[in-house]
Chains A and B, each alone.
Chain A
């Protein structure tokens, strides 16, 4: 049978708050028996919710005895009568409570009844109350007392005491009325913090619901609701642990930015920070390494037998992909080809020629491994700004070209004609292979809520996979790296929204209709990718899957990134 949750909050704790700032009794310490001044309340009973003056203890005991005797003598319904009546008196105030009970059972001849005791109630009281049986509603003034003062007016002829208003200072805490009869108004002071926790798994579910509801509210421009929900999310997010907490926090922040129309943090636009973050991401988890590795495999195979090779990298960053390829080329049977690299990247915030620096480092490596090396760095705000003529292409008989793009193509989808322009340039380049790595998820749908839902699941999985990594600076930075993507995807629109990921099938369509044909990645690539994964946490959780000649890296059953390779279709 389900019980009422209200029960646990109890109507009475206005008078019995133990968690107070007043001195509490000694908890242990054999020798410290109570040393209480006569006029003060018994501390030990006070903690237990009963207010009894130490000086009155004996009298209270006497009353208890008297009541006991009388109850022994009373008829059955007399007791029921008592039971009903007790609700009019504050059970915490033992002296008066017992007193009043005694009067009920043994009304003095002088008065007409107990009604004389309590004029406030008296106003509304009449004998219809005393019908025995269960508690009935208490009408009138008794219920909604707000002041701290109350008084039992007394019949002076009796031996009952005048009980002056309970002074608030003698009460333990709470500003709720000191001796309210019946229900108390529950208030909580700063010194008491009652909390009920719901199971955090429960919270996890609620969190997801709140996130979705917030996104929906944003979509329907119900910003008031969205705002309220975003606050809820923040609150729920901190009750979670690990991946869920981080993801929820990033999404909440992104939603908040969208709601309040805050422009994304300045760092969105700072590319050198992006590069740094990506390096941390590179270290922490296998995704980038997988991307580089699989793309390099495809390039290596496409360059087989070629004496002069040229790689055009749309995603130069720190050039992390190329040392491995260069080494593989160096070890090639028949000796390495001469290797030309054109690196394209966005301008650095401080205008430094970081692309040049990267090139220099690679040149040093090339020298060390005896590979003939040529390098050119290009700064471009967008890949769509490129023209084939800038790239100093050489005749394809002399030089085989590979074009490489890791997590860059999707950024073009926000610009009209962007991707078409780039495809056009690539076709002009006439590469032997065009390697592409992209996030495997549709974060570019026309409906905000759909994008939100997809990305929530995507990044939850991604963050989950990061949880296994040992805590480190790298890990934190990786999370920040991903967090920026989340922020862009949720908070931005139009050309500002660059994280427009799409799935393999969507890309396949684009490539297909733009004159490219798939170049299947071999089983070699597959096997070696699997080996690579084993280096990360024993490969626990990660999976490599083949999909139409492409390779996907999944966390458990969810594919997260896809490497695909393309060549010009026969028509060209």
Chain B
């Protein structure tokens, strides 16, 4: 195996900048240490290794953040990111929840990635990403610290997402002036994308308005081994084996990958036909081994008559959006801005 591994390593090095390669390889390495073959997870070590940052109510690069407890029962925390107020003074305690100032102010409810197991809303990589999203277009971003597997399996993450959606929807200070409603978008990368989809389904069923879904390399799967999984297995940081491990950690015990949480357009899923599902922006990295599942997802949305824009990035690997040192990053940021602003006329 060693030989072909070396080939793989070299290959992945050619498609991403060196520091990106170092970052993602480091994650891969650490994650390998944390996953145990018996399906358990070394959570203490994971928390130790995770680079975290506190919220910061002092604006940095025009963005400030603060944490909120959304639900005491489950200790559901989220981090709110807002554009700094004119004048640049640090907001006082009472200003943190000052009503948003604008005819239409999009609020993005963001679910970080980590395959349902890793990372937190206060992980540096996600704190940085959320700050960048705010800096992009003056959106408010609410990053949800959902419960993770394997300690908390399906549907905990979705439940937390749902709680967060309701919380955001009921904040008077997040209402846009135009219609006194909160203009909500759901977004997420990897498992976060999966969560965004599932929260959107619940929203539609309950009548809460979501204006759009933004799915970055969303995590979907199925029992079948797709062509992309076989072709790209182990080549660009991710293996089929680790994907299997994460699904086993997240899905209810005894369930297989036909479960609708894993396979939203599989045989066991409910149809989305006829529902006023939000429009979706689905970003697929061309070197992501689960791209076939992601493409099936986009297809599934289209077949159900839902609006979807598919952005396929040829030479992108997982995690390309974590560092702004590549064209894919900038492309995606522009697409997201356009996608969100289209609703804000």
Contact = CB atoms under 8 A, between A and B. Distances in A.
Interface of A: 1-5, 7-13, 15-20, 24-28, 30, 33-34, 42, 44-45, 47-50, 52, 57-58, 60-61, 64-65, 67-69, 71-73, 76, 79-80, 82-83, 86-87, 91-92, 94, 98, 134-135, 188, 191-200, 202, 235, 238-239
Counting chain A CB atoms within 10 Å of each CB, the highest count among B51, B65, B152 belongs to B51
B61 A8 contact: no
B141 to A, nearest CB: 14
Contacts of B55: 194-196
30 contacts: A3-B147, A8-B120, A13-B52, A15-B51, A17-B53, A18-B128, A19-B58, A25-B324, A27-B135, A28-B132, A28-B136, A28-B333, A30-B327, A33-B325, A34-B19, A34-B325, A44-B324, A49-B125, A64-B26, A79-B33, A80-B36, A83-B45, A86-B45, A86-B49, A135-B45, A196-B77, A197-B68, A197-B97, A199-B68, A200-B97
Contacts of B32: 71, 79
B22 A20 contact: no
A197 B96 contact: yes
A164 B21 CA distance: 27
Nearest to A7: B47
Contact of B9 (A5, A7, A44, A65): A65
B5 A72 contact: yes
Contact of A94 (B22, B42, B68): B22
Given A19-B56, A197-B68, A238-B93, A27 B324 contact: yes
Contact of A16 (B9, B124, B135): B124
Interface in B243-270: none
Size bin of chain B's contact surface? 35 or more
A8 B330 CA distance: 30
Contacts of B58: 19, 191-193
Interface of B: 1-2, 5-6, 9, 13, 18-19, 21-23, 25-26, 28-30, 32-34, 36-37, 42, 44-45, 47-58, 60-61, 65-70, 72-75, 77, 90, 93-94, 96-97, 120-122, 124-125, 127-128, 131-132, 135-136, 145, 147, 151-152, 156, 322-325, 327, 330, 333
Given A98-B26, A238-B94, 14 more contacts: A10-B53, A10-B122, A13-B53, A18-B124, A27-B131, A28-B135, A52-B22, A64-B22, A71-B29, A79-B32, A134-B44, A191-B58, A195-B96, A198-B68
A529 to B, nearest CB: 34
B54 A9 contact: yes
Contacts of A91: 30, 48-49, 51
A68 B51 contact: no
A92 B30 CA distance: 12
Given A17-B54, A94-B22, A193-B57, A68 B44 contact: no
A28 B337 CA distance: 12
Given A68-B29, A71-B32, A94-B22, A16 B51 contact: yes
Contact of B23 (A48, A58, A82, A86): A48
B16 to A, nearest CB: 11
A64 B29 contact: yes
- Listed from nearest, the 4 A-B pairs whose CB atoms lie closest are A49-B51, A19-B56, A10-B52, A194-B54
B60 A18 contact: yes
Counting chain A CB atoms within 10 Å of each CB, the highest count among B61, B152, B156 belongs to B61
Contacts of A195: 55, 57, 66-67, 93, 96
Contacts, number: 212
Nearest to B90: A193
B29 A10 contact: no
Nearest to A26: B324
Given A18-B127, A61-B18, A50 B23 contact: yes
Contacts of B30: 91
Contacts of B124: 16, 18, 47-49
A96 to B, nearest CB: 13
B287 to A, nearest CB: 18
Given A17-B53, A92-B51, A193-B90, A1 B29 contact: no
B135 A73 contact: no
A19 B324 contact: no
A375 to B, nearest CB: 50
Contacts of B333: 28
B1 A72 contact: yes
B54 A13 contact: yes
A61 B22 contact: yes
Contacts of B28: 68
Given A57-B19, A83-B33, A197 B48 contact: no
B134 to A, nearest CB: 10
Contacts of A15: 51
Counting chain B CB atoms within 10 Å of each CB, the highest count among A48, A98, A238 belongs to A48
Contact of B44 (A12, A135, A200): A135
Contact of A68 (B5, B45, B94, B125): B5
A57 B22 contact: yes
Counting chain B CB atoms within 10 Å of each CB, the highest count among A15, A19, A30 belongs to A19
Contacts of B145: 8
Nearest to A135: B44
A60 B42 CA distance: 25
Nearest to B36: A80
A198 to B, nearest CB: 5
A17 B51 CA distance: 9
B93 to A, nearest CB: 6
Contacts of B49: 86, 91
B67 A197 contact: yes
Contacts of A83: 33-34, 42, 45
A53 B36 CA distance: 32
Contacts of A7: 47, 120
Given A7-B47, A83-B45, A94-B22, A72 B67 contact: no
Contacts of A60: 22
Nearest to B148: A3
B122 A8 contact: yes
A198 B93 CA distance: 12
A1 B37 contact: no
Contacts of B1: 72
A145 B115 CA distance: 34
